[in-house]
Amino acid sequence: MDIFVNLNNKQTQAVRETEGYVRVIAGAGSGKTKLLVSRYAYLVTEYGIDPSNILCVTFTNKAAGEMKKRISKLIGPEYSTSLICTYHGFCARLLRENPEKLFLTRGFQIIDTYQQKTLLEEIYQKYELKLDWANFQSIIKKIAQKKQDISYVKRMAQADKVQLLSEINTLDDQIIEEYMQRQKAVYSLDFTDLMMYAIYLLTNDEEVRNKWQERLNYIQVDEFQDSSSIEMQLVDILSGKYQNLMIVGDPDQNIYEWRGSDVKLLVDFDKNHPGTKTIILNQNYRSTPQILNCANTLIEKNALRLKKDLFTRTLPGPSVTHIHAKSEDQEVEEIVKTIRKIKKEKGKSYSDFAVLYRSGFLSRVIERKLVEEGIPYEIYGGVKFYQRMEILDVVAYLRLIAFNDDLSFKRIINTPRRKFGRTRVAALERIRENNEINLFDVDLKDKSLYEVLKTHLGDQAFNGSGGGQFVSLIENLKALKDRLKISELVNRVCIDSGYEQYIRELGDEERLDNLSEFKRIANEFESGFGEDINLEGFLQQIALMSTEDTDKPVEAVKLMTIHASKGLEFPVVFIIGFSEGIFPSSRTIEERKKLGLEEERRLCYVAITRAQETLYLMDSEGQSQNGIKKLPSRFLFEIGEQNYKRVGIISDDLEREAFGYMHRLDLSITEELPPEQQSGELYVEHHIFGKGRVISFDTKRKVYTVQFENMTLPRSISADYFSKKHESLPVIKALPQEKEVEYLPPEIESNSLPQKIDNSLQPTDDLNKLTLFEQKTEKEEEYRSLPHWDEDIDKEEFTIEMPELEKNGEDVSETVEEIEITEDGEDEEEIPDEKKIPPELKAKLDAAPNHWEDPNFPKTGWSCTGVTDLGSPVGICEMCGWQIIRYVHHMVHDSGLSLDCGCVCAGKLEGNIERAKKREAAFKNKEARKFNFKKRTWKKSGRGNEYLKIKNHIVVLFHFRDSDKWKYSIDNEFCKKSYNSRNEVIEAVFEALEKLLYS
- Give me the active site residues, please: 32-33, 222-223, 253, 610
Q: In whole angstroms, give the CA distance from residue 999 to residue 996.
A: 6
DSSP codes joined into one string, 580-647: TBTTTBHHHHHHHHHHHHHHHHHHHHHHHTTEEEEEEEEEE-SB-TTSPBP-B-HHHHHS-GGGEEEE
Residues 6+ apart with CB under 8 A from 563: 255, 256, 603
DSSP type of residue 739: S
CB 950 within 8 A of CB 811: yes
Residue 327: φ, ψ to 5°: -155, 165
Specify whether the CB–CB gap between 394 and 518 falls below 8 A: yes
CA angle 388, 394, 398 (to 5 degrees): 135
Which residues touch 610 (CB under 8 Å, ≥6 apart)? Answer: 354, 356, 565, 568, 569, 570, 573
952 has which bridge partners? none
Binding residue per annotation — 448? no
Apex CA 595: angle with CA 589 and CA 599, to 5°?
80
690 annotated as belonging to a binding site for a ligand: no
How many whole angstroms from its chain centre is CA 885?
A: 37
CA-nearest of 197, 88, 109 to 407 is 109
Q: Give the angle subtended at the CA of 380 by the CAs of 377 and 381, to the nearest 5°.
A: 150
Tell which residue, 226, 217, 285, 221, has the closest CA to residue 247: 221
d(C-alpha 197, C-alpha 88), whole Å? 11
Q: What is the DSSP letter of 127?
A: T
Q: What is the DSSP letter of 980?
A: S
Residue 218 CA to residue 243 CA, distance in Å, equals: 8
Q: Which helix (H) or strand (E) holds 703?
A: strand 703-708
Angle subtended by helix axes 133-146 and 113-126, to nearest 10 = 100
- Fill in the DSSP letter of residue 710: T
Q: CA 788 from chain center: how many Å?
A: 36
Closest CA relative to residue 634, chosen from 657, 652, 615, 611: 657
User: How far is the CA of 97 from the CAs of 106, 487, 527, in angstroms?
Assistant: 8, 25, 22
Rounded CA-CA distance 376/356 in Å is: 16
CA distance 829 to 913: 13
- Known binding residue 31? Answer is yes
Of 156, 19, 178, the C-alpha closest to 99 is: 156
DSSP code string of 349-361:
-GGGEEEEESSGG
Residues 6+ apart with CB under 8 A from 727: 687
Q: How far is CA 793 from the centre of its chain?
A: 44
Collapse the DSSP code of 369 into the 3-class scheme (helix H, G, I; strand E, B; otherwise coil) and give the result: helix
Instruction: For residue 344, say whether it is annotated as part of any ligand binding site.
Output: no
The pairing of beta strand 570-575 with beta strand 973-974: unpaired
Element (H, E) at 685: strand 681-686
CA distance 565 to 28: 13
28 is in an annotated binding site: yes
Question: 477 with 449: CB under 8 angstroms?
Answer: no
76 labelled binding-site residue = no
Whether 29 has a binding-site annotation, put simply, is yes
CA distance 231 to 224: 10
Neighbours of 126 (CB within 10 A): 10
Return d(Cα 441, Cα 458) in angstroms, integer.
14
Annotated binding site: 26-33
Residues annotated within the binding site for ATP are: 26-33
